[in-house]
Amino acid sequence: MSDNRSIVFFDLEATGLDTDVCDIIQLSAVCGKRVFNAYILPTRELTASAKQVTGFTVSGGKLFRDGVPTSTVPLADALASFLDFLRSFAGPVRLAAHSATRFDAPVLTRVMRRLKLLPEFQRLVSGYVDTFPLAKNLFRLSSYSQQNMVRHFLGKSYDAHNAVADATMLQELFNHWNPSAQAVQRATFSTCVF
């Protein structure tokens, strides 16, 4: 049994898959029953596939999800609130996401750096846990997508690509797996490598 009290599960929805340029649209995090969520109005257009996958659109300077208007905050405010959320835990936390090293970590690091928040972020976050290699090391499956694994292990379908639901389901998956501390350590990466 690993000590997962310090693991915060998070997820980003963004304007596309290019980690060098995409804008964050939704930033969510879950730890136990504590939930963080923020929507941000993007400055660049969503790719066609991002629109299709996430259901987000921008019209008239407003953000919509599945056609429903959504309240947004400036990116700097969202990140400051996120840091406040992380600061509320005792000691540095680990941030867990599915394919964190391929997508979420480089994007989050880039925007933190751009807004000169990276030193504080790195003070609050000791590392990233990537649940994709974690799952590959633990199980032999035909698919390691989060949606497939939620179906396989939890027998559930859910509102995938809503970042709150994705982070919540990831936490549930992790708790179901109950991985050893050694297994989690093997799937943990420093915040300094992005």
Partner DNA sequence: TGCCAGGCCCTCTTTAGGGCCTT
Rule CB under 7 A: which residues touch DNA?
A: 11-14, 16-18, 20, 25, 47, 49-50, 53-54, 98-99, 102-103, 132-133, 143-148, 160-161, 163, 166
Q: Closest approach of Cβ 64 to DNA, in Å?
A: 15
Query: Count H helices, E strands: the chain?
Result: 8, 9
Print burial letters for 156-173: b (CB count within 10 Å at least 16), e (below 16).
eebeebbbbbbbbbbbbb
Q: Which is nearer to DNA, 39 or 85 (CB)?
A: 39
Q: Closest approach of Cβ 103 to DNA, in Å?
A: 4
Q: Which is nearer to DNA, 53 or 120 (CB)?
A: 53
- Residue 184 neighbours by CB distance under 10 Å: 21
Q: Closest approach of Cβ 24 to DNA, in Å?
A: 8
Q: Which is nearer to DNA, 3 or 20 (CB)?
A: 20
Q: Which is nearer to DNA, 66 or 84 (CB)?
A: 66
Q: Closest approach of Cβ 111 to DNA, in Å?
A: 14
Q: Closest approach of Cβ 43 to DNA, in Å?
A: 15
How far apart (Å, rounded) are the C-alpha atoms in residues 178 and 2?
7
- Residue 24 forms beta bridges with which residues? 14
Residue identified by tokens 């992005």 is 194
Q: Which helix (H) or strand (E) holds 13?
A: strand 7-14
Q: Which is nearer to DNA, 48 or 90 (CB)?
A: 48
Q: Give, as one character, the DSSP assignment of residue 121.
A: H
Tokens at 32, concatenated: 């136990």
